[in-house]
Every structure is written in C-alpha cells, then in structure tokens.
Chains A and B, each alone.
Chain A
C-alpha cells in the first residue's frame, strides 16, 4: 500500500505536478495563482488609473493638459490649484454666510417636504456657488428618492412574495379603455383632467364590482412582477419627452420633487425585483409563527422580515443611491437652473465656447466621487452574511 502511493507524496512530486496541482484542497496551483493575480493586477490598473488620472488632472493648468500627457505631479508638471479656485474662490457666492444660508434652507425645505409632500422645494437659494448648489441638489435628490423608492419598492416586493393576487384580465381591459376615454374627452372635449379622471375612477370601481365576477381569465403574481420589471426594459430616452411635457403641465419643471419622484419611479422595478428575491427566500415559518403569536402584517414586515433582509436592503439601497447619484438624462431635461445636479455640472464643462475645461471638469468629478466611496464603505458593514443562521436549522 505505502509502496504504491509513494509517488503521490508531497516531496516526491514531479516539477509539473508542483506547478500545476494545488498543494491542498482549497488552495490554488502556483501557475493558476500567477495567472489569476496577473489578470487581477491588469484589471485593477484599468479600474484605478482613470481615478488617478482624474485626480492629477484636477491639479493641472491649461498648459499641462494641452501639452501632455503628463503623468507624475512635480516631475512631469507643476500641480496648482487653479481648477479648484475656479470652483470655490472665484465664485462670488462661495463664502461662509452663503453656505450657511444654503444649509438653513436645506433643513427648512426638507422639513417642509416631510410635512407636506405637495410643496415643491422651490425656494433653494440660487445665489450660491454653483458647485455647492449642485452638490446639495445631488445629495437631497438622490437620498430622498432612494429612501422613498426602497421603502415603497420593498413593501411592494414583500406583498408580491407573500400575498396571492389575481387581477381579472377583464378588469384590466376596462381600466385601459377608461384611460383612453379620459385622454379623448380631456383633449377633444375640453373636460378638465381632474374631472374626467375622477369620473373614470368611479366608473372603474363600479364596473369592476358589477362585471368582475363574470371574467374568467386572471393574472398571477408572476405576471405582475414581470409587468413591473418590464417598465425598466424601455430605454429612458424614449419616455423622457412625454415626462417633460407632463411635468411642464403640472408646473413642476426644475423642482427637487420632480426629480425625486421621477428617480423613485424609474428605479422602483429594480428594487421590487431584487427585494422580491430576498423576501421569497426567507423561511415562511418565521412569519407564520409571528402571525400565530398575534403580530399584524405590518408588524411582521417591520419587526421580523426587515431585520432579516438587512444585507439585501443595504445592497439594494447602495445600488439605487449610486444610480440616482449618477443619473444624467432625466436631470438634463427636467433640471434647468435651480436643481442642477453634479452630472450636469460635469457635462456643462464640456459645452463652453473656449473648448473643454478638462482640469475644472476633473475637479468637479473628484468632488462627485468622494461621497460614493464613503457610502460604499459605510454600507458594506451592513452587508454581512450569516444573519439567518439559527433561524430554522436544528
């Protein structure tokens, strides 16, 4: 026995075995290690170099950019703060009193927003340095919209994961027909939109109640889920013009509320889709047990389900936050002056008559990157594994 197996012992392996076989289970072979780490090193260069390039470019002047490429500060070129001064010092409204007033307005407006969601966030101070305005706009819009979106989306996802819905196909057809009717009478008969939609809604409930039981075909939760996800399949560029017209009609162009609502609606499908998976995989006994113990459905959702899906919730929140932070297309249409966000600021540096101000653009980009990195670090602490351990295993 020992004679036959000697050539498999560690010290007797051939050079090829040493190179291509892993030394033990759960480790990599030396050659595989070299290949993998080389690939990873090259890949990180691809990822990290642009960040490095943006940072050093923000300290260059026009000459250093145009005569370049210069890679190493102090050796290739002399770094200076021109680009940063242009954003902060040279802006007449970038003093402490303006920023303090801006902060006050931010708090005041968020209070107004919470108390009365109908009130738009118009009274932001436009007399403030542009980068500060854009930065606070970006923060307010992306955080508010993310919270709203994740709250609504996860509740919807939970309902779809746990309650069986059977909307009748016939009722849906009635609804669609009534919407068409509303459009027709509003456009061609001059009926005010609120009157026609109220009548249509009342008619819908009446007709659904009257004829609903005669319809046979009905949709299921899977269909609803797919319908919600399919909203995201449509390219945003297709819908942005109608959305512009709608917000114009209700007088909400260039308001925070418009962007907050729009971002929330646009990202709702992603939240529902991701969170549905997390909820569906939770052991249902926990909720059944809580139900028997007397908890309400919302109590179960808040006290049992939410804490258990915290990693998923954190991951989803992070994703939506980043998507909102980076959003450009909707913002460029809907935010003309007062609620311009950071991506608009960046793009604006590309549109000057004197060519592209790369150094200023890079300074703004650096300002834009920092919060994302902070968010990622903070939220990864929540994305920990093993939360469910001990729930249902013996």
Chain B
C-alpha cells in the first residue's frame, strides 16, 4: 500500500549557516531521492539540526539554495513548503485533545469538518491511537505522545517528512519498538523522510542512506553497510559501530604498520609518520600469548551474553576484541590479538583521512 505522499526530492546546494562568528554549516551539499529515508547523523553541535531547520524554513541559510522537488524554497515560508516535522519534544498543544492535535494542520487549512474528522480517524488508526482521541496530551504516556506527533505529521500527507531526534525522549525498550514502527510507516507511506539523530544504531537500522556530519561538514554520505564497511575517515569509522572501532597509534611504512616496535602487515601502501590503524572488535580475535599479531595483557573482560568483550592493553591504546562467550582469560593474563590485514583501516592522524 503506497497511498498519498507526492515523494519529493530534496536538495541542499552549497548551503552555509553561521550564527554570528560561529560557522554551523559549511558548504553543505546533499541530494535526497524521492521516497528515500535519509538519516543525518552527528554529535551535538555538528550542524545536523540546523540543516533540518533550514530545510523546514525555521532558519534561513547564510548562503546557498535549498530545493524541494524542482522548487527553490530558500526564501519560502515554512507553511508553503509542504513539509511536516516531528520535534524531539513532540510539541503537542497541551490545551487540545489528541483529535484536535492531530487535526490541527487540516483545521488551519480550513478544510471542512467532515473531511477533517475522517482524516483524523484514518491517521489515528495508522498509529493505533483511535481509542485515545478524547484524551489530553498530559494524560498520555511518552510513547503515546510520540504517536500523536507522528499522526499529526502524516495527516497532511506532506511531500517531505522531517524528524528531529523523535525517539530520544523514550526509554530504551520503547525506542526499539517505535524505531520499527517508524520504519514500517515510512515504507508504507513512501514519503521522503529526513531524520536527524545522534544515535548510530537508529541511523544504521532506519536509513536507506546515512549522511554523517561533523563540525558543519558532511563527512560521508552512503548506505549504512557502506558506511560501516568502508568509512571515509577516522571520524566516521569511530562514530559508527558499537563497541567503537579500535584505534592503534603508530606509523605506516610501505605495507607495514609499525606500532610499539611491532610490524603489522596491511593491504595499503604508503609513508605516513603519524598513522592510526583502525579495526573493528568483531574482526579481531584472541589467541594464545605470542601467537597473535600483537601480544599484550588483558585489561578487563565483560560478558555481554552471546559474546565476551576482551579489552587488551596495548601501550596507551586499548584494543577491544569480541571473543567467544566462554572465553575465560583473567585480568593481567597475557593474550595474543590477531588483526587480519584485510580488515585493517589505516588513517592519517594529522587530518583523519583514510589511506587507501
């Protein structure tokens, strides 16, 4: 079922934004396909919310153009952009009932009463709220409020859907549940969606493509798998993945990575005095002492359930290895860590760029 939703594309063309002397967005270029679920991922202060607010029209860019579909909307008022937005705080009107909240976008557009009422019921059904229509927001749980905000956003069938950290006020269990619901709803309606979050798991699970932002600069724009398997730079590599990618400081000489006097074979070649090797915990493995690529001592072990995280001290770095759940090494025991060359990413420490 793909009803409604005119599936507009979105384009940022060299958008810049500064607040006073602070540059929040620099030369931001982004194209979103019609019907795509795009996640803007970044830490706080990375400019992701600013980008969303510029698209919504709540902020005006300092330079650059913004397009929705073929229309240049840079100087168009928010209400003429045919978008709807879900706020982190939900922004429900506390003095209106659930039904009035959901129907508000149609009421201000002066649709007739009967049409509004049937649209309210249809939207409410989509988020399983049809029994709560007469309640007030204060009488609802966090998850229910979230649904009201969603229903209010979908009632108008906008061409673009904006979401600003919509799940971050929910507790962990509910967040997982609502994540699945959101993904299902977006798949059903097929409305172009731009979703801002700092949570890399939300980004990985929800997105068709992820745009990673840091300090107002787009770091990488790719599918979740591509971002995970092939990070463009050190920032992206460390931001994505839980537990985070291990970083080992050293230097690159030809196809050898030198760290603490040990040579590790790599697939890339180059001469970098200050390099960083990155490797994901699940790509490493533990072995008996002196048989690993690197040999160190166990710093600590954590049993997660289906696996054990083994932290190995390596100079001032720590290497986390995802090991079998029955791993029984103790703190201080000697252990070897195997680093497969094909899973080793090498970065230039001075600018964080990946060496390919």
Q: Contacting chain B: which of A19-27, A130-138, A267-275, A385-393?
A: A385-393
Tell me whether A294 and B108 are in contact (CB under 8 A).
yes
How far does the alpha carbon of A64 sit from the alpha carbon of B133 in the complex, in Å?
67
Tell me whether A304 and B142 are in contact (CB under 8 A).
no
Q: Contacting chain B: which of A95-103, A251-259, A285-293?
A: A285-293
With both beta carbons as reference points, the residue of chain A lying nearest to B95 in the complex is identified as A307
Tell me whether B91 and A390 are in contact (CB under 8 A).
no
Tell me whether A389 and B91 are in contact (CB under 8 A).
no
A308 at interface, CB cutoff 8 A:
yes
Tell me whether B136 and A292 are in contact (CB under 8 A).
no
Q: What are the interface flags for B67-101 relative to A under an 8 Å C-beta threshold, 1 for contact and 0 otherwise?
A: 00000000000110001110101111111000000
Tell me whether B79 and A286 are in contact (CB under 8 A).
no
B273 at interface, CB cutoff 8 A:
no
How far does the alpha carbon of A333 sit from the alpha carbon of B90 in the complex, in Å?
54
A73 at interface, CB cutoff 8 A:
no
Tell me whether A391 and B169 are in contact (CB under 8 A).
no
How far does the alpha carbon of A283 sit from the alpha carbon of B87 in the complex, in Å?
12
A394 at interface, CB cutoff 8 A:
yes
B302 at interface, CB cutoff 8 A:
no
Give the contacts of A302-333 with B (CB-CB under 8 A): 304, 307-308
Give the residue of A293, A295, A392 whose beta carbon is less than 8 angstroms from that of B89: A392
Distance (Å) between the CB of A286 and the closest chain B CB? Answer: 5
Tell me whether B94 and A291 are in contact (CB under 8 A).
no
Tell me whether B92 and A391 are in contact (CB under 8 A).
yes
Given contacts A285-B91, A288-B87, contact A293 B108 (CB under 8 A): yes
Residues of A close to B56: CB separation below 8 A: 292
Tell me whether B85 and A289 are in contact (CB under 8 A).
yes
How far does the alpha carbon of A290 sit from the alpha carbon of B77 in the complex, in Å?
13
Give the residue of A286, A292, A394 whose beta carbon is less than 8 angstroms from that of B142: A394
How far does the alpha carbon of A390 sit from the alpha carbon of B140 in the complex, in Å?
8
Give the contacts of B17-76 with A (CB-CB under 8 A): 56-58
Given contacts A307-B95, A387-B94, A394-B145, contact A291 B169 (CB under 8 A): no
Residues of B close to A304: CB separation below 8 A: 93
Tell me whether B139 and A292 are in contact (CB under 8 A).
no
B104 at interface, CB cutoff 8 A:
yes
Tell me whether B87 and A293 are in contact (CB under 8 A).
no
Tell me whether A286 and B91 are in contact (CB under 8 A).
yes
Tell me whether A293 and B105 are in contact (CB under 8 A).
yes
A299 at interface, CB cutoff 8 A:
yes
How far does the alpha carbon of A307 sit from the alpha carbon of B93 in the complex, in Å?
10
Give the residue of B78, B137, B139, B152 whose beta carbon is less than 8 angstroms from that of A391: B137
Most buried by B among A304, A308, A392: A392
Q: What are the interface flags for B183-214 relative to A under an 8 Å C-beta threshold, 1 for contact and 0 otherwise?
A: 00000000000000000000000000000000
Distance (Å) between the CB of A296 and the closest chain B CB? Answer: 8
How far does the alpha carbon of A282 sit from the alpha carbon of B50 in the complex, in Å?
21
Residues of A close to B85: CB separation below 8 A: 288-289, 292
Given contacts A283-B91, A288-B91, contact A295 B136 (CB under 8 A): no
How far does the alpha carbon of A283 sit from the alpha carbon of B91 in the complex, in Å?
8
B109 at interface, CB cutoff 8 A:
yes
Distance (Å) between the CB of B260 and the closest chain A CB? Answer: 47
Count of chain B residues with Cβ under 8 Å from any Cβ of A? Answer: 32
Tell me whether A391 and B170 are in contact (CB under 8 A).
no
Give the residue of B78, B87, B142, B146 whose beta carbon is less than 8 angstroms from that of A285: B87
How far does the alpha carbon of A307 sit from the alpha carbon of B145 in the complex, in Å?
20
Give the contacts of B152-178 with A (CB-CB under 8 A): 152, 156, 169-170
Residues of A close to B140: CB separation below 8 A: 390
How far does the alpha carbon of A289 sit from the alpha carbon of B57 in the complex, in Å?
11
Give the residue of A292, A308, A389 whose beta carbon is less than 8 angstroms from that of B79: A292
How far does the alpha carbon of A290 sit from the alpha carbon of B169 in the complex, in Å?
21
Most buried by A among B56, B87, B94, B109: B94
Residues of B close to A308: CB separation below 8 A: 94-95
Residues of B close to A386: CB separation below 8 A: 138
How far does the alpha carbon of A304 sit from the alpha carbon of B90 in the complex, in Å?
15
Given contacts A292-B78, A293-B79, contact A390 B87 (CB under 8 A): no
With both beta carbons as reference points, the residue of chain A lying nearest to B84 in the complex is identified as A292
Tell me whether B94 and A390 are in contact (CB under 8 A).
yes
How far does the alpha carbon of A285 sit from the alpha carbon of B145 in the complex, in Å?
15
How far does the alpha carbon of A270 sit from the alpha carbon of B202 in the complex, in Å?
49
Distance (Å) between the CB of A287 and the closest chain B CB? Answer: 9
Tell me whether B90 and A295 are in contact (CB under 8 A).
no
Residues of B close to A286: CB separation below 8 A: 91, 93
How far does the alpha carbon of A392 sit from the alpha carbon of B85 in the complex, in Å?
15
Residues of B close to A392: CB separation below 8 A: 89-92
Give the residue of A289, A294, A390 whose beta carbon is less than 8 angstroms from that of B109: A294
Given A285-B87, A387-B95, A390-B138: 11 more A-B contacts, CB < 8 Å = A286-B91, A288-B58, A291-B78, A292-B83, A293-B84, A293-B104, A299-B108, A307-B95, A394-B89, A394-B169, A394-B170
Would you give 26 A-B contacts (Cβ < 8 Å), ordered by A? Answer: A285-B87, A285-B89, A288-B58, A288-B85, A288-B87, A289-B91, A290-B108, A291-B58, A291-B79, A292-B58, A292-B79, A293-B79, A293-B108, A293-B152, A304-B93, A308-B94, A386-B138, A389-B94, A390-B92, A390-B94, A390-B137, A390-B138, A391-B92, A391-B137, A392-B92, A394-B89
